[in-house]
Amino acid sequence: MTGFGRREGALGDWTWAVEARSVNGRNLEVRFRGPPGFDALERVAREAAQSRFQRGQINLNVQAKRARASGEVRINSDLAERYLAAGEAWMAAGRATAPTADGLLSLPGVIETRDADDDEETRGAVEAAMAADIGAAFDDLRAARGDEGAALAEVIGGILNHIEALTTRAGAEAATQPTVIRDRLQRRLIELAGEAASEERILLEAAAAATKADVREELDRLGAHIIAGRTLLDQAAASGRRLDFLTQEFMREANTLCAKSALTGLTSVGLELKAAIDQLREQVQNVE
């Protein structure tokens, strides 16, 4: 499910902006990008996302700055040397080029800043305010996804209605199968056995073939799946994973129906069913 949420905040000399975006994903994946010195916000963001979402790729970007520069800036030479040592083997093997000065300085922790007036209490208050805005941005994102979900529910409901209509057509086609199978076998046996083909033999062969081609169970299960799909759509809880599983069950029954079909008309309806189920599967991937 796609969506967007944004919040801005300020406290003391600090100002920040939080943006949360999401795109479709089978499972929940959280990607965080935050300001230097606020590493604890990544854990906050992941926990906040996991408490609100079950599926989708969530991208959270937090940008922060101070109104004035103050304090001390230093280069952590020991850390920079460790970065270089870690990549030395790759550079020697030609798998990587030597880093530029600006690239090395941009690595986490190489440049350290310490604000003279940014004591632990002030930093903690700023971090807490940012964390609150992360939660608020996720709430906005969830609301946006909810609006999209409401519209999507109508689309999925329409596909379920189409599948129901096709299931009804399949039932009408399947009702003629026993007669068609009997007539087909009668002609075949008469061709092969002539007058020796008794009516009793024809009836026995036709009954066995009709039993193998009986699709009533498949049609009943398709009907039950339609009811289950509508029930899941009506639930307030997240149902994307269960709908995803249900589409697999839909396709299983449609495949069996096509395999049992002895009529061109029934096969045609079965193929339409499979196409509709594919449409359902695509839409269900967007559901929370």
Residues 155 and 276 in one domain: yes
| Cβ neighbours of residue 15 closer than 8 Å, sequence gap 6 or more | 8, 9, 64, 65, 66, 67
Alpha-carbon gap, residue 54 to 10, rounded angstroms? 30
* Banded pLDDT at 202 (limits 50, 70, 90): low
CA-to-CA distance for 110 and 123, rounded, in angstroms?
A: 20
- What pLDDT digit, counting tens, does each position of 161-187 carry? 999 999 999 988 888 777 776 666 666
Tell me what pLDDT residue 212 has: 67
Residue 96 has a pLDDT of 82
Residue 27: predicted pLDDT: 81
Count: domains in the chain = 3
If asked whether residues 195 and 124 sit together in one domain, one would say no
Query: Do both 159 and 91 map to the same domain?
Result: no
| Helices within the chain (DSSP H only) | 40-52, 77-92, 101-105, 120-174, 177-193, 199-212, 216-234, 240-260, 264-284
Q: Within a 10 A sphere around the Cβ of 245, how many other Cβ atoms? A: 11
Q: Among 120, 89, 109, 103, which Cα is nearest to 39's? A: 109
- pLDDT score, position 99: 84
The Cα–Cα gap between 230 and 161 comes to: 10
Instruction: Give the pLDDT confidence score for residue 277 in this predicted structure.
Output: 94
Which domain, by its residues, includes 51? 3-74+113-143
CA angle 172, 173, 175 (to 5 degrees): 65
Domain identity same for 139 and 187: no
Name the CA dihedral angle for 8, 10, 15, 21, rounded to a multiple of 10 degrees: -20
pLDDT, position 88: 87
DSSP letter at 103 equals: H
Q: Let me know whether 118 and 70 are in one domain.
A: yes
Q: pLDDT tens digits for 244-282?
A: 889 999 999 999 989 888 788 888 999 999 999 999 988
192 or 95, greater pLDDT: 95
Same domain, 132 and 153: no
Sign of CA dihedral 35, 126, 136, 287: positive
The predicted structure's pLDDT at residue 126: 92
**Distance in angstroms (rounded) separating the CA atoms of residues 80 and 221:** 64
Phi-psi region of 82 (alpha: psi -120 to 50; beta: other; left: phi over 0): alpha
pLDDT for position 60? 95
Residues 6+ apart with CB under 8 A from 200: none
User: Which has the minimum average pLDDT: 32-46, 70-84, 136-150, 191-205?
Assistant: 191-205
Residues 170 and 95 in one domain: no
Q: Answer whether residue 283 shows pLDDT above 80.
A: yes
- CATH number of 53's domain: 3.30.230
Residue 194 and residue 172 in one domain: yes
Pick from 225, 274, 216: nearest CA to 249 = 225
Same domain, 92 and 182: no
3-class DSSP state of 28: strand
pLDDT at residue 72 above 70?
Answer: no
Is the domain of 207 the same as that of 164? yes
pLDDT at 194 over 60: no
- The number of beta carbons lying within 10 Å of the beta carbon of residue 131 is 20
Pair 186, 202 in one domain: yes
Beta-strand relationship, 111-114 and 28-33: unpaired
The C-alpha R_g of the chain, in whole angstroms, comes to 32
244 and 224 within one domain: yes
Please tell me the predicted confidence (pLDDT) of residue 208: 60
